[in-house]
Amino acid sequence: MGKVWVSVFVLFVFIACTSKKEKVLIKRWRVADVTFVDAEKATLQSDTMQGNLMLRQQAVLRDVLLKNLYEFNEDGTYITGNAAGSATGKWKLSGDAIIFISDVEKDGVASTKKVPFQHLSDDSLVLLLNNDQTSIKLKLVLLPVE
Please tell me the total count of domains within the chain.
Answer: 1
Averaged over successive runs of 10 residues, the pLDDT of the chain (146 residues) comes to 53 54 95 83 52 75 91 96 91 95 88 94 94 72 93
DSSP designation for 33:
E
Q: Is the dihedral of CA 17, 137, 82, 85 positive or negative?
A: negative
How high is the pLDDT of residue 109?
86
CATH of the domain at 72: 2.40.128.280
How high is the pLDDT of residue 105?
84
Q: From start to end of the chain, where are the E strands? A: 28-36, 69-72, 77-82, 85-93, 97-106, 109-121, 124-129, 138-144
How high is the pLDDT of residue 59?
84
Rg of the chain in Å (alpha carbons)? 18
How high is the pLDDT of residue 37?
83
Domain encompassing residue 48: 2-144
Distances, alpha carbon 73 to alpha carbons 23, 67, 118, in Å? 10, 20, 21
Contacts 24+ apart (CB under 8 A), 71-79: 71/27, 71/28, 71/29, 72/25, 72/26, 72/27, 72/29, 72/98, 73/26, 74/26
Tell me which amino acid residue 73 is: N
